[in-house]
Copies of this chain bind each other. A is one copy, B any other.
Amino acid sequence: MSLFKFAISKKDHESGARLGRLHTAHGWVDTPVFMAVGTQGTVKGMTPVQLREAGVGMVLGNTYHLMLRPTAELIAELGGLHRFMGWDGPILTDSGGFQVFSLADLTKRTDDGVTFRSHIDGAKHWLDAKRSMEVQRLLGSDVVMAFDDCTPYPSTREQTEASMRLTHRWADMSLDHFQGGQQALFGIVQGGMFPDLREESARVLCEKPFHGFAIGGLSVGESKDLMYPILRHTAPLLPDEKPRYLMGVGTPADLVNAVSVGVDMFDCVMPTRNARNGYAFTSEGAVSIKKAENKRSEKALDPACSCYTCKNFSRAYLNHVFKANEILSSVLMTYHNLAYYQDLMASMRAAIQEGRFAELKSRILSTYGAEDIETVNAPERAPTSSPNPSVAEEPSCG
């Protein structure tokens, strides 16, 4: 029987923000929670001990990557993903569908699933709801995601509707093949940039016995003007008593905005990927460590942060190891960015508890010069071609 349970302990009076706790077979995490992305069985550059020190409580693993290498069967043989990667906290795995379309070669999709060739060795593979459930069972994650079709951006209404119906079909197939045990299964709401399709997707899926619900198909290249209204519209459609997970999002401003409309769970490569590229999130906003102004700076990366990196190293040192292309640059920058994200989530939880979430939200939005989700209005109609295709190059869609 699943040990999965979600309990809300407090709701914010002025917004949709909720404070909760997610219980799994591998312990609990408080929500809102940000999951660190551990694509290939490791959060890039971090040991599990460092993850814990940085405050990480829950990790996401990528089904697509792990099924190809070292294979889900090998991981199962070695005792499952937790044991394999030395992480004893909760793990959520995605369904693999999104990465098949973004990374694999020669994909061929039918209504049942997708045939593709591995980006590693060209070997032919098949992925559908049944196989996705099998792979995620072999990995032994605590939260399993239903196999879905992440609607690309931009898409026409007709494309979006067809994609959504496929997601609904695959949701049923996922439920059919999900074996339960200690795992929980989340459904994924699609519907692209069309509010009425989001409503339909939420209505159809929320009738099904999922343990939680994700909002997929956002942060795939669209502007905040499109994303925020859709998110604001969709989140409250999901069952109040179940966890709500916004896949592949986002910036600190995105997180506080999403929490304010009732989202409980997040994952994103941004803190880890940006760290490796020399970008930090700080209480003073974004910092590019390679900038000349940091070359002689004795200042901590974030003077308000008490993580290992900020307590022990100057910006000058971080600038040096970045320029010298040292492994330690990725390690120390990732350490800080993850600690920053975890501190951000902890401060949101404290603010909800203490009834001052609105104040925190406005401070974070102002730090990053970001818009409030409540005041962003959608364009008259969703464009059918991307206004800025370069943004879409590396989507981190759920």
Contacts and interface: CB of A to CB of B under 8 A. Distances in A.
B328 A47 contact: yes
A47 B330 CA distance: 11
Contact of A317 (B85, B296, B314): B85
B316 A70 contact: yes
Interface string A327-367: 11011100000000000000000000000000000000000
Interface string A309-322: 00011101101110
B328 A44 contact: yes
Given A45-B327, A47-B308, A331-B331, A317 B40 contact: no
Contacts of A41: 317, 320-321, 324
Interface in A43-99: 44-49, 69-70, 74, 77-78, 84-86
A77 B297 CA distance: 10
A327 B327 contact: yes
A119 interface: no
A37 to B, nearest CB: 13
A46 B328 contact: yes
Contacts of A308: 47, 49
Contact of A84 (B77, B78, B314, B326): B314
A323 interface: yes
A156 interface: no
A19 B106 CA distance: 65
Nearest to A43: B328
Contact of A312 (B78, B86, B295, B298): B86
Interface in A269-320: 295-296, 298, 308, 312-314, 316-317, 319-320
Given A45-B331, A47-B328, A84-B316, 16 more contacts: A40-B324, A41-B321, A42-B321, A42-B324, A44-B328, A47-B332, A69-B324, A70-B319, A74-B295, A74-B296, A78-B314, A78-B317, A84-B314, A84-B317, A86-B312, A327-B330
19 contacts: A40-B320, A40-B326, A41-B317, A42-B324, A42-B326, A42-B327, A42-B328, A44-B328, A45-B327, A45-B331, A47-B308, A69-B320, A69-B324, A74-B295, A78-B298, A78-B317, A84-B316, A84-B320, A331-B331
Interface of A: 40-42, 44-49, 69-70, 74, 77-78, 84-86, 295-296, 298, 308, 312-314, 316-317, 319-321, 323-324, 326-328, 330-332
